[in-house]
Amino acid sequence: MAMNSYYVSGTPFSWKVWLSLEQEEFRYNHKILRVDAGDLQASRLLAVNPRGKSPAIVHDGFKLYESPAIIEYLEDDFPGSGKPLWPRNKHKRAIGRRMANEAENYLYPQVRRMVDELLLRQDGSLDNNVIAEAKETIKLNLDMFSHNLNGNFLLGDQSSVADFTLYPLTVMILRLSARCPDYGLSSIIPASITN
């Protein structure tokens, strides 16, 4: 079974699928796309995802994009390979899905706001109010995740898609902190999450 995984380095949605493929111990070909090289508008990607975004997969001719759909496909169609992506317990699984949705719907937009403000703003001016608001919201969300930790990972002693959704966002914050140290972004990540 051949699978190609189309991936843009640094995007949390691509990371989530990549980490899920690794957890499933599934064989795949990693197709790294470069935004600066125009790969997102290249015909080979548009043939897989007409929206021109990553992640996307092609598995034995079946094309699929959008990370939640890809995760569900991997979990449903390859349940015996590797470690499960979600706990078998229905309550833990529901909590994990809630956490993944919270990370994508509440944390990601604020991290993205921070990236846009600190790294992508073309005119060179920074809106310190936007930065302060985003930083505070990120901290509140990370504190919530920290208080809900249930073992070494969000749902216990095994990683899940909830972790694969949160982890890339914390890495993005750490990268922003390294590039823009004056904003103290690394200090808003609870130690329980980075350990």
**DSSP secondary structure letters along 32-75:** EE-TTTTGGGSHHHHTT-TT--S-EEEETTEEEESHHHHHHHHH
Q: For domain 90-194, is the CATH number 3.40.309.10?
A: no
pLDDT digits (tens, 9 = 90+) for 22-50: 998 888 998 888 877 777 788 888 898 89
pTM of the predicted structure, to 2 decimals: 0.90
What is the reported pLDDT for 36? 77
pLDDT digits (tens, 9 = 90+) for 54-112: 899 999 999 999 999 999 998 887 767 788 899 989 999 999 999 999 999 999 999 99
Domain ranges of the chain: 3-77, 90-194
Residue 156 has φ and ψ, to the nearest 5°, of: 135, -140
Specify the CATH architecture of the domain 3-77: 3-Layer(aba) Sandwich (3.40)
What is the overall mean pLDDT for the chain?
Answer: 90
